[in-house]
Amino acid sequence: MSWGIPLICFGTATGWAAGRLLAAGPRPAPVPVGWCAAATGVLWGAVWALRRDGALPGWWLPVPLAATAFAVPLATADILHRRVPDVLTLPAYGIGVVAVGAAASGGPGPPLAITAVVGGAATLGAHLLVRALAPASLGAGDVKLSGSLGLLAAAAGWPTLVVSMVFASLVTAVLAGAAALMRSARWRDGVPHGPGLLAATCVGVLFPGGLPPVGG
């Protein structure tokens, strides 16, 4: 598949641009741009490799590409600054909608899109409720991020969404344990949940298990 190298290059450019955007604006959250670029290129290369090996159908590719586009820059920003900036979380909704629409058009059709939208809304609603009940447990950025990631995870089906959200909580718990062991002062006000959400969603859409049947 000759499109592997161009895809990796485009992914690298996407990671670079996202890293630059995080450093701009009235509330910058600078991240290592080179790291974000290289890691995003690797993730897009993984999408290509999975497609090459037949692990992912062609119609599904927009979803994992969307999930991994901003994953590394946003996770890095949350780890370093305890913030998930709007400059990337808000555009992620548009990218997610386009990706889900493209996958639905090329694959199962409207049922995939409907499941994705309902799943995204449910994920956003659940995070809004948690923040309302326990404001210290989630940041506003985590809540904003959850809707777009729920949209992408739910596109693979309800089992993928549920497993992804459980896995996200486990990742956050591991980070909390590591921070406690190291007595980290960086996360005095709470452990970032964004890296867990992003990692879980990326794994879920890269290895979705049972995708909806085409035409189903």
C-alpha span between 191 and 174 (Å, rounded): 10
- Burial category of 144 from C-beta neighbours within 10 Å (exposed 0-12, middle 13-18, buried 19 and up): buried
In the prediction, which pLDDT does 172 show? 86
In the prediction, which pLDDT does 216 show? 46
In the prediction, which pLDDT does 178 show? 72
In the prediction, which pLDDT does 210 show? 78
In the prediction, which pLDDT does 35 show? 96
In the prediction, which pLDDT does 136 show? 80
Between the CA of residue 155 and those of 40, 66, 74, 148, 182, what are the distances in Å? 22, 12, 21, 11, 38
Between the CA of residue 55 and those of 21, 60, 116, 174, what are the distances in Å? 33, 10, 21, 29
Among 159, 130, 161, smallest CA distance to 148 is for 161
Q: Per-residue confidence of the chain (216 residues) as pLDDT tens digits?
A: 588 899 999 999 999 999 999 999 778 999 999 999 999 999 999 999 999 999 999 999 999 999 999 999 999 999 999 899 999 999 999 999 999 999 999 999 999 999 999 999 999 999 999 999 988 888 899 999 999 999 999 999 999 999 999 999 999 888 877 766 666 556 556 788 999 999 999 999 999 987 877 754
C-alpha span between 211 and 165 (Å, rounded): 18
In the prediction, which pLDDT does 185 show? 56
In the prediction, which pLDDT does 213 show? 76
Cβ-contact 194, 78 below 8 angstroms: yes
DSSP state of 23: T
In the prediction, which pLDDT does 2 show? 80
Among 153, 168, 171, 166, smallest CA distance to 208 is for 153
Helix (H, G, I), strand (E, B) or coil at 208: coil
Locate the DSSP E strands across 25-124. none
In sequence order, what DSSP letters do the residues of 97-132 get, joined into one string? HHHHHHHHHHTT-HHHHHHHHHHHHHHHHHHHHHHH
Between the CA of residue 70 and those of 41, 120, 173, 189, what are the distances in Å? 11, 17, 22, 24
Locate the DSSP E strands across 109-213. none
Alpha helices in 84-109 (DSSP H): 86-106
